[in-house]
């Protein structure tokens, strides 16, 4: 790691981007530029001792501003959310192709040394995800192409853009396919939250409101693996500084059904709820899990935070946020938006 390098993180006001900025800062990087479309007071994590820019990266000129002087760019900016958001905002998700295209061009224009792109397991062929048995998806399973409509197609296209900028122009690019990242300091209500945060919130609501009931999208038999944010941030840095040229899985292999996910959160909360299944709600593919042979071979590492451990931390954070919101405390999910000394 070269702590004197200028680091640029796009999507820095979001969940994973905020964690990545915090980690670079903890590692002693002195030149960090954090960029996000949201107003600064809406960022989940913001540190006032670094350069923070509120810019719409769909616009090419803003990408040029963001990339100027950058040694390393970590492009996490995208229009995305949980399955409910993805299924109802396909065009908005597709428009994220502008962000990565413009950021690649800007990185090339400004002589950036390293460019990381955050892709998604949503690029994988849907025909390989019809079983509930949590099929472990290998990197080559993205082709023949049949990704998640909208969001998945944008991610797959942007992966190819990274490849061709590397092959044609010599730009150093690395790509990781994220598998369901969760943890504190992220979206937990409002429609963009993902399954772990949504389940934590629903269990907290049922417990505090005394309803003792929870709605589950789909049959609850859908299977997924979930990666804790700390593992994601570590993986991003390892992959960026590796010799891995092609897109690679970054995810946990600890697959569970949604029903089992609820079981774990109920255990943390010390409650048992009646389950109502909404079979008409967005639910995504039936089964998906990360196959980690390549990442273990290349990095001698894979995400290893247990789901139980990660959910305990996530539940505790969301519980505090929920109570604070009920007390009417404004902006509580962004309570870390203050100057923090290194």
Residue 151 among the catalytic residues: yes
End-to-end CA distance of the chain: 18
Write the DSSP string, 206-250: HHHHT--EEEEES-S--EEE-EEHHHHHHHHHHHHTSS--S-EEE
Residue whose C-alpha is closest to residue 24's, from 8, 37, 10: 8
pTM of the predicted structure, to 2 decimals: 0.91
Tokens of 293: 């042979």
Residue 281 confidence (pLDDT): 84
Contact by Cβ (8 Å): 146, 153: no
Q: What is the pLDDT along the chain (342 residues), one digit of tens a residue?
A: 566 789 999 999 999 999 999 999 999 999 999 999 999 999 999 999 999 999 999 999 999 999 999 999 999 999 766 666 777 788 988 999 999 999 999 999 999 999 999 999 999 999 998 888 877 999 999 999 999 899 999 999 999 999 999 999 999 999 999 999 999 998 898 877 889 999 999 999 999 999 999 999 999 999 999 999 999 999 999 999 999 999 999 999 999 999 999 999 999 999 999 999 999 887 778 889 999 999 999 999 999 999 999 999 999 999 999 998 888 885 444 434 443 332
Residue 85 confidence (pLDDT): 75
Residue 83 confidence (pLDDT): 66
- The CATH number assigned to the domain with range 6-182+227-253+290-305+330-334 reads 3.40.50.720
Contact by Cβ (8 Å): 18, 43: yes
The catalytically annotated residue of 124, 151, 182, 315 is 151
Residue 304 confidence (pLDDT): 96
**CA 47 vs CA 21, 22, 52, 242, 287: distances in Å:** 9, 8, 8, 28, 38
Determine the Cα–Cα distance for residues 268 and 271; give it in Å rounded to an integer: 8
Residue whose C-alpha is closest to residue 114's, from 228, 24, 215: 24
Determine the Cα–Cα distance for residues 187 and 82; give it in Å rounded to an integer: 10
């Amino acid at each position: 790691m070269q702590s004197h390098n200028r680091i640029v993180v796009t999507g820095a006001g979001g969940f994973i981007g905020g964690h990545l900025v915090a980690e670079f800062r903890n590692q002693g990087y002195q030149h960090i530029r954090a960029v996000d479309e949201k107003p600064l007071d809406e960022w989940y994590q913001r540190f006032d001792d670094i350069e923070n820019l509120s810019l719409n990266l769909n616009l090419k000129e803003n990408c040029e501003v963001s990339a100027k002087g950058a040694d390393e760019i970590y492009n996490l900016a995208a229009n995305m959310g949980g399955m409910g958001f993805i299924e109802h905002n396909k065009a908005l998700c597709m428009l994220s192709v502008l962000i990565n295209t413009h950021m690649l061009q800007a990185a090339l224009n400004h002589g950036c040394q390293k460019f990381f792109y955050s892709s998604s397991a949503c690029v994988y062929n849907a025909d390989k995800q019809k079983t509930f048995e949590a099929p472990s998806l290998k990197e080559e399973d993205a082709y023949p192409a049949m990704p998640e409509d909208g969001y998945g197609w944008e991610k797959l296209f942007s992966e190819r853009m990274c490849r061709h900028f590397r092959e044609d122009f010599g730009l150093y690019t690395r790509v990781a396919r994220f598998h369901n990242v969760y943890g504190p300091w992220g979206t937990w209500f409002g429609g963009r939250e993902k399954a772990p945060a949504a389940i934590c919130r629903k269990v907290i609501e049922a417990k505090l409101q005394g309803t003792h009931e929870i709605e589950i999208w789909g049959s609850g038999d859908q299977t997924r693996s979930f990666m804790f944010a700390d593992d994601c941030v570590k993986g991003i840095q390892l992959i960026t500084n590796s010799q891995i040229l092609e897109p690679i899985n970054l995810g946990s292999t600890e697959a569970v059904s949604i029903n089992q996910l609820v079981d774990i959160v109920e255990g943390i909360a010390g409650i048992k709820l009646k389950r109502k299944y909404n079979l008409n709600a967005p639910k995504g593919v039936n089964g998906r899990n990360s196959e980690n042979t390549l990442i273990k071979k290349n990095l001698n590492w894979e995400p290893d935070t247990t789901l139980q451990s990660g959910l305990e931390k996530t539940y505790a954070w969301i519980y505090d946020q929920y109570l604070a919101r009920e007390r009417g405390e404004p902006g509580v999910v962004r309570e870390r938006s203050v100057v923090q000394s290194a």
